[in-house]
Amino acid sequence: MTNIPQPIQPPERILMGPGPSQISPRVLAAHSAPTVGHLDPCFLQVMDEMQAMLRRVFCTENELTLAISGTGSSGMETCVVNLIEPGNKMVVCKNGVFGMRMADVAERVGADVLTIEKGFGEVFSTDEVADAIVKHQPKVVGIVHAETSTGVWQPLEEISQAVHDAGSLLLVDCVTSLGGVPVEVDAWQLDAVYSGTQKCLSCPPGLAPVTFSPRAVEAIDNRKSKVQSWYFDMTMVRNYWGGDRAYHHTAPINMNYALHEALRVVLEEGLEERFARHMLNHQALKAGLAALGIEYAVAEGQQLPMLNAVRIPENVDDASVRSQLLREFGIEIGAGLGPMKGRTWRIGLMGDTSRAKYVLLFLAALEKCLASQGAKLQPGASVAAANEIYAD
């Protein structure tokens, strides 16, 4: 046989970038289980169990909670297209790439979009959002809880209160935060929330968990026009996930197997324990980086524990370090995006990647890479600093 490519043999990588994250062998094994039909009783049970587990991870009782067939961005589109009709007003909070993407999606479906903007690496205050609501009187306010492009952790509780006081709906991007830090959908009164499988849930990319509050479902039911996307139309998709099991599309069966097992892993560990693990490894990494003179690009108290955006030291070549990490150690980290390109690294400690062994290996490897560029370092200082955190 000629002109047929060889079988795929991906290299083993340590995924410490902005996603995907390391995937448990349990999840990979579930992904390779025998495929059944999308209306097979076995798969319908998987769907029911996934819904119940997603509600626990989202901390919600929302009936309309499910996994969209598509990556995290499909969750964004699902929430926007179902809540927005042409001409509806929407305020979008832009302080990074994914706020910008949300605004773009809203404009494409005909929303009258008003954006409020902060610099990359900054958070929005409640007053800033409240002022925009008073000015624009939107149907929907969109905001990113964990901005993957900048490493910023956006507080939501007071903003949510301001949104609801004005009678608007709150749409939240939790792609990077779900499973890594608290996401309290019911307690914070979040109306439409979407996430992705490949971040803190440590599942291959391919599904987007979403949940809609009763207020959001009422808004969908009261639409005057069809949802602009047939594929993401919740008025139809929910019937496939509900008691009727009305055919809508062929779900990615094996991806649902993988997410089912990933959610089992999350709940076996426990949400509070999982959050504590992410925070501990973040603190150890932070101590190790400080020993190398590397600072965070985000203010103290606003830093995501699972996505660490740090400033690249002066006289250090961004691409060379990332290339050496990948070539010599098999470690992937992320480059900066937008105005942070060439100025920051994004170091992921998500889900299964949030382990002491990866933190310590990365710090030792980074020391070697920096030394290769002429940095004067005390050998082992970063690892020692991280180990002090673990010892405490």
Choose between 376 and 111: higher pLDDT: 111
The model's pLDDT over 4-60, given as tens digits with 9 standing for 90+, comes to 999 999 999 999 999 999 999 999 999 999 999 999 999 999 999 999 999 999 999
Choose between 377 and 257: higher pLDDT: 257
Q: How far is CA 208 from CA 100, 173, 199, 211, 228, in A?
A: 19, 11, 11, 10, 19
Peptide bond into 18 cis (omega under 30): no
The model's pLDDT over 299-312, given as tens digits with 9 standing for 90+, comes to 999 999 999 999 99
13: left (phi over 0), alpha (psi -120 to 50) or beta: beta
The pLDDT assigned to 1 comes to: 58
3-state secondary structure of 151: coil
Contact yes or no for 254/46 (Cβ under 8 A): no
Residues 157-178: what's their mean pLDDT?
Answer: 98
- CB neighbour class for 376 (10 Å; exposed up to 12, middle 13-18, buried from 19): exposed
Domains and CATH numbers, the chain: 25-268 (3.40.640.10), 271-391 (3.90.1150.10)
Contact yes or no for 333/151 (Cβ under 8 A): no
Contact yes or no for 49/259 (Cβ under 8 A): no
What's the whole-model pTM score?
0.96
Residues 337-358: what's their mean pLDDT?
Answer: 96
Among candidate residues 88, 345, 50, 318, the one with its CA nearest the CA of residue 201: 50
The pLDDT assigned to 243 comes to: 83
The pLDDT assigned to 279 comes to: 98
pLDDT band, residue 392 (cuts 50/70/90): confident
pLDDT, mean over the chain: 97
The pLDDT assigned to 188 comes to: 98
CA dist., res. 322 & res. 374, Å (int): 16
CA dist., res. 195 & res. 68, Å (int): 10
CA dist., res. 44 & res. 240, Å (int): 10
For residues 351-366, one letter each, b for 16 or more C-beta atoms within 10 angstroms of the residue's C-beta and e for the rest, the string is bbbbebebbbbbbbbb
Percent of the chain whose pLDDT exceeds 90:
95
pLDDT at residue 173 tops 70: yes
pLDDT band, residue 82 (cuts 50/70/90): very high
Q: How far is CA 329 from CA 17, 24, 146, in A?
A: 14, 20, 28
CA dist., res. 142 & res. 248, Å (int): 28
CA dist., res. 186 & res. 323, Å (int): 43
CA dist., res. 240 & res. 243, Å (int): 8
